[in-house]
Amino acid sequence: MVNTSVTLCGIRLDNPIIPASGTFGFGYEFAELYDINLLGSLSIKGTTKEPRFGNPTPRIAECPSGMINSVGLQNPGAEAVLKEELPRLKRCFSKPIMANVSGFSTEEYVTTVERLDTEAQIGWFEINISCPNVHGGGMSFGTSSSAASSVVSAVRRATAKPLIIKLSPNVTDITEIAKACEAAGADGISLINTLLGMRIDLRRKKPVVANRMGGLSGPAVFPVALRMVWQVYEAVRLPIVGMGGVCSAEDVIEMMLAGATAVEVGAANLVDPFACRDIVRKLPEVMAQYGIQNLSDITGGAH
């Protein structure tokens, strides 16, 4: 019998599969389709201090082997998440969850984390300094080592829970950002967020999404994500949550061999709501196929 369990920042997961923030709502929506307790954990929809309507529509553009989104962090705000969304999730999910937090200033990140820190079910904070489709926040922190360091340092003082910093691939050298986060007190790194892309409507001769550009996700970005996980694994001594185009149990194994301790599944959930369930079920079979007894043993195994 193979062992799929892993440990992320001191917290044990039954398996490394985590639905990525923004692709799984607040989790309880998927509980109507299957028992989501079979997941390792889940990263809830990105939360900001105040409610956000998000970007104007249209927000989605299809691509071969992927999609572009420009949702713009639509969410009900920290207070509603605490009082409405998380109690609903707790009724159908019994494991620690990952709270994904975004902000437009260091103070906003800190305030939101301090408010959510009171929720016992939150095991980790995933600090999103990498959203490519909002103006004046998100990625503006994740493309500068000094800005990233400033956010991490401030949020580090606001909570004792593990901080996993979500990085942008839209940088010259992702290892420099990762090193800055490590030095500032991060407990882990998650990567990659989406790549900046766009599509143009030939009939209208205008960009498809109202925001002109958005985040490219899906199978097309997997090789880029894998390369960056590999690089960051060699640059820092922190656990990594790998993501970007993961669609199968084989992709999970590949991500872990590159250096990931756990793996988030994003766009695949939007194509098939059973994607994470099916990957979890398939994982033992694929492990056996490749002679893997303990999944935690293979992290970084390709180096």
Structural domains of the chain sorted by starting position, each given as residue range(s) with its CATH number in brackets: 6-54+74-195+219-298 (3.20.20.70)
Q: How far apart, in whole angstroms, are the C-alpha atoms of residue 238 and residue 227? A: 17
pLDDT given at position 208: 97
Task: Give 18's strand partners.
Answer: 264
The reported pLDDT for the residue numbered 135 is 47
- Decide: residue 74, CB within 10 A, 0-12 exposed, 13-18 middle, 19+ buried: middle
pLDDT tens string, the chain, 303 residues long: the values are 999 999 999 999 999 999 999 999 999 999 999 999 999 999 999 999 999 999 999 999 999 999 999 999 999 999 999 999 999 999 999 999 999 999 988 999 999 999 999 999 999 999 999 765 444 445 567 788 998 999 999 999 999 999 999 999 999 999 999 999 999 999 999 999 999 999 999 999 999 999 999 999 999 999 999 999 999 999 999 999 999 999 999 999 999 999 999 999 999 999 999 999 999 999 999 999 999 999 999 999 999
Three-state SS at 297: helix
The pLDDT of residue 90: 97
- In angstroms, rounded to a whole number, what is the distance separating the alpha carbons of residues 69 and 284? 32
Closest CA to 55 of 208, 177, 179, 173: 208
> Residue 132 has what pLDDT?
53
Q: Is 56 exposed, middle or buried (0-12, 13-18, 19+ CB in 10 A)?
A: exposed
Catalytic residues: 131
pLDDT at 218: 97
